[in-house]
Every structure is written in C-alpha cells, then in structure tokens.
Structure 1
Amino acid sequence: MVYRNLLIVFVLTAGILSLKINAYGQDVDPDGYNKFYFDNGAIASEGNMINGKPEGFWKTYYATGGLKSEGNRKNFQLDSTWTFFSEDGLIESEINYVNGKKDGFFIKYADSVIISKEFYIADKKEDFSFYYYETGELKLKVPFIDNREEGIGFEYGKDGNVITLLDYKRGFIAKQERINRTDRKGLKTGLWKDYHDNGNMKSEVRYVNDKKNGYYKEYDVNGNLKRTLKFVNDVLEEEPDELRGPETTIKYYSSGKPKSIGNFKDGLAEGIHREYNQKGEITSSKLFYDGILIGEGIMDESGIKQGPWKENYLDGVLKAEGTYEDGKKIGDWVFYHQNQKIEQKGKYLKGEVPTGIWKWYYSNGQLLREENYRKGLRDGEMAEYDEEGALITKGEYLDGEMEGPWVYELGHHKEEGNYVGGKRHGEWKYTYVNGKVYFEGKYIDGEPDGKHKHFWDNGKLKEDGKYMMGKKEGEWKSYGIEGMLYLVIYYRDGVELKYDGVKIKPAHDE
C-alpha cells in the first residue's frame, strides 16, 4: 500500500521540523523507509514513516547534495540531538529535544567555532548559558530562571579570567563589579578572583603593581575557606602568625576617657576603628581590610551603621556613598564604577526600600537604564539604552509588573505591544529595520491567540495561522520568500493532523 503523487521533504520553520508535500509523482510508503528527490534528481530527504508520519532517524539535503539536517523523531515528536549544516558542510547548530521541545543545550556555530551554548528545559532557558568570542574563548556566562536572566553572571577576558561580575534581576543587569584588571602598563592591580565551575569563589588576592600583596585565600567547591597565605611584594611570608588575634590599640584623653580604639594585625589596620569625643560619643568610624580603608562613617558599639557613609572597593577607590539608619540604607545613594564614573543612583525609604527615579550608567558615563520605584517595586516608566545611547527598551511598570505599551529594539527588528499584569496581552507587532512588518498577532494573558502572521523582510507573507488558548488550531500556511504557498498544515489542539489538506494514513488502495 502506497500513496502516489506526494513529495515529502523536511523544512525548518520557527525552530520545529514540519513536512512539505508537493505533487511530483513520487511514491510514498506510509509504513516503511522513503527517499524523496529534487527535480534535478538529487536526494531531498530520507527516513522511515509509520502511519504516514515521519518516525525515527531522518536526513534532509540541499539540492546540491550536501547534508542539511539530521535527527530523530520519537512518537512523531522531535527527539534527542538534531544537527543542522550549512551548504558548505559546516555545522551551524545542534539542538537537543525531548517530546518535541528544546531540552538540553542549543549550540550555535560560526565557521565551526562555538559561539553560544544555551541550556533549555521544556523550551525555556534555565541554569547557565554560555557565549563565546569569535576565536572560541568563553566571553559570558549568564544565569537564567524561567527563560529570564536572574542571578550572578560572569564576563571573561580572552585569557580566561573573570573580568566583571554581573548581577541580573528580572532580566536586567542590576549591578556589575569589575575585577581581575590591569593598569595602563598591563600590570595586575586591585582585587583578583578566580571561580570554580559551579560559580563559587575559588581564590582571591590583591595585587599592587603586578605583585601579590596581602592575604591569598583559597576556597573549596562549596565555598569553604581551605587555606590562607600571606604575600608581601609577591613573596610568600613563611609561617605567618595567622592564629594570633589582632592587637587592640587604645588612645586616651588626659581625663582617662578613650579617644580612639582600633585593631591592628601584622602592623596593618584591621576591622572597625572608632574615635570618641570627651563625652564618650562616637564621632567617626573607619572600616579597614588589610590596611585598606573600605568604609567610613558612624558605626555604633553594636556594629550598626548610622548616618552618612562612604564605602570603597578593596583597592580603596570609592564605591558608594549615602546614609544609613539602623543599618539600612536611607535617602539618596550613589554607586560608582571603579573608574569613578557613576554606576547607579537613587533614593531609599526607611528600611532600605527603593523609591522614586533610579538611574544606571555604563562605565563610559552613558545612561544604561532609568526607572521609577514605588514602595520598593518598579512603578512607572522604564527606559534602557545601549552604550551608544540608542533606546533598546521602553515601557511601564505597575506594582512591579509590566503594564501597558512596551517597545524593544533588538538590532534587526523592533517589537511593540502591551502587557497586562506582567503578561503579553492584546495586539503585538514586530517590524524589520527597513520598516516592513516582521510579525503581527494577538496575546491573551501571555498566550498567543487568534490570527498570527509572519513576514519576510521583502514584505511577502511567510507564515500565517490561528491560535486558540495558546495552541495552534486549524490551517497554518507557509510561503516562500517570493510569496508562493508551499505548505499547509492542519492542527487540532496544537497537534498536527493534516498536510496540505491530506490526512496522512495508510492507503487502502493501490
């Protein structure tokens, strides 16, 4: 039993494999191995079918004969690793699937070099994704939770060292810290840190003029301190007296009341140093680490910060300044990059609750993001820019959730639409940089609904179909770049049932 006048070849559309059926006078065995051919006689695809549907391992080819893709289907769903090739035979991507959804690493290549490895669970980015320099070295390690950047990420130099710590919150960079840097002469300076593969710190040490100075600390994979060594001008100090506690130095007024109290370890100021007036009131406090001033203000006898404070990086450069009340930030605060340009600034209410306008800046001084807070939650307009000052994101929040119209500028296209309660809702439209429509469709409570259309950059329709409650329903049509219809798939409740109007079943007649 076979079908006649059907040509089945695989095409990649929107990240999933579909079937293409054209009249061409080729036999199809609905329960066996099939090969299909281009007009020029070259093989187009080959693989097994069960009940007229592709199952098992399949390959597709370019008309020139080169392998285009290969992979497995299980229970008619994409399964395990699919590999895609360019016409010159180079791997372009590898995607792992489970039950038709991306699950595992999605790896992309350029000239056989990996440029990204994104980890998916059930079609959503989770855990860490990795991005690489064109020469193959790791550039970024970015954490994801529920398809959105969240947590501590790392930027790497080409030498493999972490050069920036990136703190992501709700898909945005909330804070970044530059480490492992060199001065203009190429000499190591400031704090250097190394990390285990799981993200926990492996070691840390401070450099001055390319030489280790101070304590080198080493940690196990769980973050527990393993050992501490002391260096002076890159020379390891033999048997340092690490067990000896700091020596407390007290100076007195003539009345016998303390004038200042501070600890010293190995001759270096360590911990909190306080100064007092004749009444015994604290007039200033300074916080030291290995002799470096890392903070100054007022710290009461209970160790709680009060009043105006300045906080420094571990190399002594100003990091932040503002006011504390009972150990919590309050009022206006300014945070600085290590080059002393402003990193972010904003205001806190009592209890360290952000309020009002907050601004973030790149290290070149260019505005990165501006947003408003109310009662600790994003509320009101938000705008984000690239390092050249071009707008890349704009929208509004209401009680911490995206609300109303939003715009995203994503390089090769722009996205515009509305959110309600943090979910896409209503009409959304994408446009190419040439102004032509890329996509238009509707969402309800974050789920696609109704008619959705995709277009080529020449304005021709690429794909259209209907969603019902987030699942494809009815006819979905695909078109070539010149506008010719080449594929019709019929869906019911998100499941493919028919191809070009033909229900694929074992034939009853020859």
Structure 2
Amino acid sequence: MTEDAEPSVDPVGHPPPQDGVVLRRDDTGKPVERCAFKGGRLDGTVARYSPEGGLATEIPFQAGQRHGLLVDYDDEGRPLAELTYRDGVLDGPAKLSRAGVPLLAATYADGLLDGDVTSYDERGGLAMVAAYRRGVKHGTTTVYRPDGSVLRTMEYRDGKLEGDTLDYDENGVLRARTPYRNGLRDGDMITYDAKGAPSRRTAFVADKAAGPPEAVTPAPQQTRKKQARKKLARPPWYRRLTGSG
C-alpha cells in the first residue's frame, strides 16, 4: 500500500508492515496516529491527532530516523514548535511560538545550538540575542528592554564570560563596565553617571573585590585646558621624526 492510498488500521499487537500506511485509532474509533513505512521502517510523515481530531504533530521520517521539519500545532492549528532534523538529530532552523507570537528562534548544527539564538517577550518583542558555537555561548549576548533599548551586552568565549559586560540606561548612556576573565570579574569595574562620565571604580581580582569602591575624580577644568594646550603645542610630526622640533 502506498502512502497516498487509504490507510489500514493496525490491529493491536501486530508488527508494523514492511511497506504501507498504518492508521491507529482509539477505543471510540477516532484517529490517533498515522504512520508510513518502507522496508519495515518509518519513512514519510507521522501525523498525530488531538482528542478532538485535529492535527497535533507532524514528524518527518526517512529510513527510520527523523529527517525534515517537525511541527507541533496548538488547538487552532497554529505552529507551537518547528524543528528541523537531519539523520535523527536537530540540524537547521528551530522556532518556538505561542498563539502565533514568536518565543524563540535558533539554529542547530549536528544536535547543538550554533549561531544566534533569539528570544522574545510575551508580546513578541525582542528580548535577547545570544551567539552560540557548538552548543555553548560564544560571542556577544545582547539583552533588550521591553521598549527595544539595549539593557546589557556581554561577551562570551567557550561558554564563559570574557571581556567587558556593558550596562546601559534607557537613554543609551553607558552606566557600568565590568571586566571578566575566564568567567570571573577581574579588573576595574567602572560605574558612570547619567551623562556617561566615570563616577566610581571597584577593583576585582578573581571575582573578589580588592577594596571598597573609590570615587573617580574628574580632572579639573584648568588641568584639562593645560593638557589640551600641551597637545596643541607639540611640534609638527615631521619635526618630531627628524628631531628638529
């Protein structure tokens, strides 16, 4: 029997056919699952049905393994999950949704997250974008506020924080810079005022504060003017190179 033909009911306890389609029903006669076989293995789309009779899940098979786009549906027929398989493992785009609103978009390679993973809030607004490589965070992760502004950026290397984590206010002004090394705070954490000027500094070594926070004192205006005049008074570059200035 071909897949296009009318499926036959699988008697309880009978092994699957070598080739053909099996339609399994519940005690009331409602369809529960429809399977296609080739050479005694699942081959084609397995369709599973809800108690109400609607399509609940479509699972593609090839030679007994999941291969293609798996789709889970809600009661109104909208996709809840769309997962791409190749030779039995996740490989390709993956999406999760709820009531037609996106929750997550990702890409898998050989069963592992690989590439950008984008998550959304309950309204479908952007919540976070995280870069992955071979199943762990690697690269930039950006967290967003409900209004779409950037709340924080983090740098990862092989699953651990590495580099500066930056925090921003609603106006896009940098408010904190925290350095990480091998997943631990290490270096000077700087906080900034509402104008973006450094205000406090806390030194960290291996995730432990080396002392209390210290105020960052900006250079006096007169000092800044003197420094600016010194820079302007420097001789031209060609004189500095020849030593004649």
TM-score with structure 1 setting the length = 0.37
Q: What displacement does 1:463 show?
A: 3.0
Residue deviations 1:5-56 (CA, integer Å, cap 9, x gap): xxxxxxxxxxxxxxxxxxxxxxxxxxxxxxxxxxxxxxxxxxxxxxxxxxxx
- The yes-or-no answer on 1:491 pairing with 2:204 is yes
- The yes-or-no answer on 1:467 pairing with 2:180 is yes
What do you get for the CA RMSD once the two structures are aligned?
A: 2.9
Q: Which residue of 395, 402, 408 maps to 2:119?
A: 408
1:479 and 1:339 mapped to 2: Cα distance? Answer: 58
- The yes-or-no answer on 1:381 pairing with 2:98 is no
Residues 343 and 362, structure 1, Cα contact 8 Å, conserved in 2? yes
Greater shift in the superposed pair: 361-370 or 311-320: 311-320
State the match for 1:396 in structure 2.
107
State the match for 2:170 in structure 1.
457
Supply the AA of the counterpart residue of 1:354: R
State the match for 1:345 in structure 2.
58
Q: Following superposition of structure 1 onto structure 2, how do residues 38-53 of structure 1 map, counting pairs within 5 Å?
A: none
SS, match of residue 498 in structure 1: coil
Number of equivalenced pairs: 205
Q: What displacement does 1:359 show?
A: 1.2
1:317 and 1:483 mapped to 2: Cα distance? Answer: 66
Q: What displacement does 1:485 show?
A: 6.7
**Residue 309 and residue 333 in structure 1: after superposition, are their counterparts in 2 closer, same or farther (change >3 A)?**
same
Q: What displacement does 1:333 show?
A: 1.0
Q: What displacement does 1:486 show?
A: 6.9
State the match for 1:362 in structure 2.
74
Q: Which runs of 4+ in 1 moved over 6 A?
A: 480-486
1:342 and 1:394 mapped to 2: Cα distance? Answer: 23
- The yes-or-no answer on 1:435 pairing with 2:164 is no
Could you say which structure has the higher strand fraction?
A: 1
Q: What displacement does 1:391 show?
A: 2.0
SS, match of residue 384 in structure 1: strand
Supply the AA of the counterpart residue of 1:401: L
Q: Following superposition of structure 1 onto structure 2, how do residues 129-278 of structure 1 map, counting pairs within 5 Å?
A: none
- The yes-or-no answer on 1:426 pairing with 2:107 is no
**Residue 362 and residue 485 in structure 1: after superposition, are their counterparts in 2 closer, same or farther (change >3 A)?**
farther
Q: What displacement does 1:317 show?
A: 2.8
Residues 298 and 309, structure 1, Cα contact 8 Å, conserved in 2? no
Q: What displacement does 1:418 show?
A: 1.8
2:213 and 2:177 mapped to 1: Cα distance? Answer: 14
- The yes-or-no answer on 1:448 pairing with 2:161 is yes
- The yes-or-no answer on 1:372 pairing with 2:49 is no
Q: What displacement does 1:400 show?
A: 0.6
Residues 118 and 126, structure 2, Cα contact 8 Å, conserved in 1? no
Supply the AA of the counterpart residue of 1:404: G
**Residue 326 and residue 481 in structure 1: after superposition, are their counterparts in 2 closer, same or farther (change >3 A)?**
farther
Stretches of structure 2 that go unaligned for 5 or more consecutive residues are 1-6, 216-245
Could you say which structure has the higher helix fraction?
A: 2
1:338 and 1:488 mapped to 2: Cα distance? Answer: 62
Residue deviations 1:156-204 (CA, integer Å, cap 9, x gap): xxxxxxxxxxxxxxxxxxxxxxxxxxxxxxxxxxxxxxxxxxxxxxxxx
Q: Following superposition of structure 1 onto structure 2, how do residues 92-103 of structure 1 map, counting pairs within 5 Å?
A: none
**Residue 327 and residue 437 in structure 1: after superposition, are their counterparts in 2 closer, same or farther (change >3 A)?**
same
TM-score with structure 2 setting the length = 0.72
2:71 and 2:173 mapped to 1: Cα distance? Answer: 42
1:456 and 1:427 mapped to 2: Cα distance? Answer: 19
Residue deviations 1:109-139 (CA, integer Å, cap 9, x gap): xxxxxxxxxxxxxxxxxxxxxxxxxxxxxxx
User: Quick one: percent identity of the two aligned structures?
Assistant: 20
